[in-house]
Each structure stands twice: as C-alpha cells, then as structure tokens.
Structure 1
Amino acid sequence: MKRYKGLIWLLGLMIGFSSCEMRDEILGKNELGENAGTLELNLTSVYNGVEMSRAGEVVDNGTTTGNFNEEDINVDGYTLVVTNTDTQEEVAKGLVSELKNADGKVLIPLNEGNYSVKAYNYDGANVSVSERPYFKGEQTFSVKKGISTNVGLNCKLSCIEMELGVTASFLEAFKDDYSITVDNGDNANQIFNKDNLGKKYYFQTPSQKNSLNVSVKATSTEGNFIELVATVQKPADAEGGIANLADGDSFVINLTDEGSTDSYLSIGLTVDLTFTEVGETIEIPVENITYDGPSVPGGETDPEPEAAITFEGLPAKYTCTAGDSEIEGLQDVHISATRGIKNLNVTISGEIAGLLGMVQLPETFDICNMDEDVKEKVIGLQLVTDDEYNQLHAGTCTDFTFKLGSLLVLIPKVVQSGDSVFNLSVSDGVDTKSGDITVTVNPKEE
C-alpha cells in the first residue's frame, strides 16, 4: 500500500512540474527582475452593448446575444497576446483558459514597462468575408514595480456584419431566381439568394470607405429582367463629417417592390444600421441610397447607354488534325457590353458534344448563372476565374475575355474527324448577340 501511495505522490509531482513548465512556456521566457509587477486582466466579449458571456438568450429590450456559437462567446477559448511595446517582444501568448490561475483569474507577472494586450476569438484580421464573426479587443497599459495593474478588455465585433432580406411585396412581384451581390468597396463581396437570405456574413472592414455597393438581378413574374445597382452611404457623423465604415457596423438590407408593372420594373432598398458597440440602430435615410439602373424608385429613369455588344475573336473557324496538341491561330474571345453582361450562354454541338462527359460539362450552360457543380468544372478548366464569375453573376462586368483555349485544344485529342461547334450568346438584358466557334478536325493520315 505504501508503494502505491508513493507512486501516486510521484505521479502528482510530475504532473505539477509539467503544468508549471507549460505555464512558463505560455508566459514566455521573460525573466523577471526586482522591478516586477502584475497584470490582472478582466476579459469580456461584447455585442450590442451586452457582455455576451454573462447574458441569457434575450436581454436589454430584446437584444439577442444567443445566436453566436459558444466558441465566439466564451472568452476562455480566445487567444491572448501580451507584447512589450518598448521592445516589441511577445512576453505571453496562449488561450485564456491556459493563462488562468486556480481561482479563474488571469494574472501575468511582468517587468516594469509599457505593454499592449490583445485577445481574439480566431485569426480573422485578413479574412475578406466569413460566416464567422471576428471579435477582438486591444489595449495598452503600464506595469509598475510591485503593483498589480487591473485592465478591463472588451472584445468587440471587429468587422462589418451583413444580412439580406426581401419583403412580401418583392416575393409577389419577382421570381425566386434573384441574386444580390454586396461588396465593401475593397474587393470583399458576397452573393445572396433565396438559399442564404437571413444569414449573417462578416466582411473585412475597408480602409477609408464610407459606402457599400449592392447589385440586384431579378426577373419579374411576367418574365421581365431587371438589374439595379445601388450605393448605400453611411450617414454623416454628429459633426456632419464623413463617417467611414467601421468595425461593429451591422447592416440589414431589405429588397422591396416599388410598384412594378408589365412595362415598368422597380426595386427599392431599405437599410438599417446598428452600431453593435452600443446597440443603437438607425434607418439609413433615402437620400443616402443612390440608384443606377433601369428605374429609380420615386424618380426619373436614367437614360439607357447606347446598345453595344461587341466581339473580338468571334465568329471563328479553326482547322486541325486528329491527335494535334495545338490548334493553329487559336485566340481568346473578348466580349464588351456597355450595359453589362447579364447572360453568356454556351451551347456545344457536333462531334465533341457526345464526349463532354469526359470533362463533366453539360451541352448548354450560362457562364453568368452556374450551379456549384458546373461552376467548379468551368473554373477548373480555367475558362473563368472565381472573381470573374462573381462580376458576371452580378451583371456588372462590361468587358470579359473568355479563355476557351484550354477546352478547345482537347478536341483534336478525342475527336477523330468532323466539326465541333461552340455557340456563344450574350445578353445585356435588352439586346442579344451570338456567334459560333467551329473547330474542324481532319482525320490523321495513316
């Protein structure tokens, strides 16, 4: 029995040493001198002015804080970094739970000096758009000899929250094939449709930008197509100056029908902005929403640009021999549309049509509106990039180079003889223009 007690005591001692070594590693190799003090940190996560980790499902006049995942609410899972601002050396880094003592407090011994402390739920500083919110808190402080320095650190939303919705009148007037693209003016964008309405997305906060761009594509129940491009500008600050988009801004954008008829289509936006740091919500004034599209809610219709869809490299005919690895004279197709490319339908016929299963492509597809499977194949074939597709899908792309070469060069490798035809049909929402690319494969001479 004494032997077992001795083993248990030894095991406990080893675990104790291991824990001390782990804590020393987390706290860094910051050798403490006679001028040591202590950082005592009180850490919370805050949304809409409410400390989430201490709130129930509904608090403070209905402010809901229970719709985030536990990993984003519970600060014990946050990463904590303490940096000496005089030397720029990290003196402590680890999960908050690992830095707490037996009493559940974060107490970090530090030499006298100047420091910054930062905590975040995940490393989301450089994420353009995410379904996960990015909470971060940062503060500077000083440590004095023999003194415990108390620091309260609130981790707040450090990105822009975005949610899209549609009104009942919009659903009655338009089909459910609508899509809405929102971008922050700094290359961060997200496409919304019927499948993700009401879902929140989190955009990286742009530098020195005071507005969002919203592009809407919809088809009325009568079959008429409409595109609307709107700019939503953040209202001026209390002093009347320009207010840039900032961490913690939360936008809810709703699409509504503005009295569409068979001959007149009109979509409007209503936008609410919540400052989540304090939980204050305002409605964006109508004068802060500017429209550019077929019709302007409550105003005159802007003149349409002169119709112009032009091609370079289309129509085209190419000749090759079965087994060739290249097609002589092959060039890309450049498409220009002053109104924006709304549809780019590709129809494949002839000898190659029966072999499309090799690359898992359908015989007909619209480059501007592809399902996920077709989109993955088209991007994989390098016919279009992900960024190009987002612009084409939004209907805002006026110039596009269709790089068909990677697909066309496959024809002489799999077709023994005959014609293969690729018909490209481009629509700008008003006019349509099309052309054929024909690849003739001659049989290989024996």
Structure 2
Amino acid sequence: MSNMKAIKKLVFICLASILGLCSACMNDNPDFGRDDEGTGNTNQGEGQVRLAGTSVSVSVDVLSRADGKAINTDDYIIRIYSTDNNLLVKEYTRYRDMPEILTLNVGNYKIEALSHDVKPAEWEKPFYKGTQTFTIKKDEVTSVDVIKCFLQNIMVTVDLNDDLKQKVGGDQSITIKVGTGELTFNNNDIGSGRAGFFEAAEVSNIIIVHFQGTVDGEWTEEQTSFSNVKGGEHRNIMFNLEIPSVGDMGLSVKLDAVCKKVDLLAWANPGAEDILPEDPSVNPGTSAPTIVGQGFNIMDEIEVEKDETKTIIVNITADNGIQNLKVKIDSETLTPEILKSVGLSSEFDLAHPANADLEKALKSLGFPVGSEVIGVKYLVFDITQFTPLLGLYGLASHNFIITVVDQANNTRTATLALKSIAKKTE
C-alpha cells in the first residue's frame, strides 16, 4: 500500500513539473506572431532592402515659372508601410537621412516619398507624392530604384477677361473652396499667376467659386461650382462680363465663369504647349520615348458616349526600341474584378503578358502584344475597340496610365483620360 502511495506521489510531481515547464515556455513569448516593429508579420525571418540607390524624382516643376528654382527632394519625407496590415514601419523626416540598407521582416511593403504633410489649402505649395512597392524575402536583399513623385493637390489660378478688368472697382476678390480648404484671391492676386493649392479627394472634387466686388459701379456677387476635378490638375478660372442683349438693357451686371484645365508644363514654360513633361529618368545622351495622341492632346479628357465606338489612337515612339509597354486601367466602374471576369487585368504589360489567357484577351481587342511590341521603335496603341465597354457599368471616368520603357531604360508615362457620358440627343 505504501508503494502505491509513493508511485502516485511521483506521478503527481512529474505532472506538476511538466505543467510548470509548459507555463514557463508560454510566458517567455506572450506576443508570439508579432515582430518587434509592430508590423504584425509572423516570424518568418528577415530580409533587407537596399536604399542606397533609391532616388526621388518629380515629374513637373509647376513653380518654375514663378521662381525659376528646381525642386530639391533632399527634405522629402520618406515613409515605409507594411501593406500586409497597413501599418507604418519606418519614417524618415528627410530623404537625405535615409539609411543605405534597412532590415525588415518578411512581407510586402510600400515606400512613399512626399514633399510635405499636405494641408487643405496652401498658397504656392504643390504637394508631390510618389509610391513604390517591394517585397522582403528571407535572407535576401531587394532594391528600390526611382520613386516618381507627381502633383497630388489641385492647382488653381484666377483671372478676369479684358472687358471685366475695365469695369471692376479694385475691391474685387475671388474665394475658392475645395473640400475643407479655402483661399481668397484679392485684387493683386487675380491675374498675377499666383496659385492656390488644394488637397484633393481620391476620385473627384468640386471647386466652389465666389466672386464679389464692384463692377461698373454696382456691388456684384456671383457664385458657381465646377465638378469632376482631380488631383494633379491645374485649373484656371476666368470670370467674364456678360454683355446684355437689347432686351436685357438696364438689368443688373451679369458674370460668367469658365474653368479651364491647363497644361502644367505649358503654364510653367509659356510657348511649350502640347509638349509632354520632361521625364527625369531619361539617361544622358539618349532620347526618351514619346506618347502622343493622334488628333488630340494626350493631356485632355476625351468624352465617349455610351455604347459609342470612338476612334482613339495613341502613337508611341522609342528610338531605342520598346522594352515594356505597361498599361494601368484606373476606372470608377471597370474594377479589377469586372476586368478579370472578362479575361482582362487592371494592369498589364503588352510586351510581356502575364499569361496566355490575358494575351488572347488583349489580342481580341486589337492590342499588339509580345513580339509586336518588343524592340519596336514606332507603335500604334489603338483602343477604339475598347471604347464601347466604357459605359457598360454606368457613366464614369476612366484613366489609362501608359508607361513606356525603352531598351536603354528610359521611361515615359502619360495618362489617357476618358469619360463615358450619356448619349447625346439628335
């Protein structure tokens, strides 16, 4: 009997020891599955990203007309996010302070470069931002080359036509409001080229305009608005004096406002209209590819009626031969899911389609692919057969972001902006 008690006691001690050991092991790492950076990535190891060769470039200097200064990116803010859980991993308040190499947990990331933390409205302060994505693999080194930054906020200038300038009393002002941002252009600002910059919503924005002042001896106020304005655009708002017809003589002063989309490069460099912005990724001694609309300015939005088959052709040249011809479809209605359902993708490379099904779908729309693109110096990108699809899921805006990379690694990007509209009545 005493032997049985001894055996039971021994078993109890062993079980207690095992449970105690398990408890100790569990307490050693209560946050198992989280990394030290707080990115939420599981412990799958680490890798490195080489940042020594990373450069930040800006597509267009919209202030060159005003002050002639080149954009200095040394003080740009750099932020690195984990795209697996949308958490900020690293931040450098100045690009020049970024390390040459950085160790990160295995996972997917994006690196952002931005000129500053944007405000709802600012005078003469364009907000530039660019993003690159990269993947960290265990015990491997990846690299990020060029982060291309583009204007993100809305640039607004205001003016009066010659007839109205002769009638105003000098006390006029024009207030511009976009979202929560608001700026007032006084008499000295109007027509001077002074620009206001407004934070932009991702899809579309409305500019609200309010004029007030003495016109032809009479206090006048006029308010109007303009929709479908996007970040990265320069809008010049011109107020005109409406000349009354014979039957309207004696009525109050009437004003009319026109909101015109302006070529950023042409504004910064008068006389340079219809010239694409110089791309900073062009290698010295070589010429960059060109992307030119056939019969239209590539920077202008084109309206396409619902169910219309509209001829839209973009001519592409690359003196060094094409290496990649990438297209990204950024549409309010033709989502990646919808495009996938018909065998397409929201992003593809005509030179190197991702798979045979995608290649077949692209060919069915009349797009050149593979050997029809690689090494070619002149190419016709005809999207005519695609236009009937634009209004299929409702009236919306569609951007075709075209990027050409030549065999000398020069790059040119342009956006073909299309807008599906209702059928016009006869």
**TM bucket normalised to smaller:** 0.3 to 0.5
The TM-score, its normalising length taken from structure 1, stands at 0.43
The TM-score, its normalising length taken from structure 2, stands at 0.45
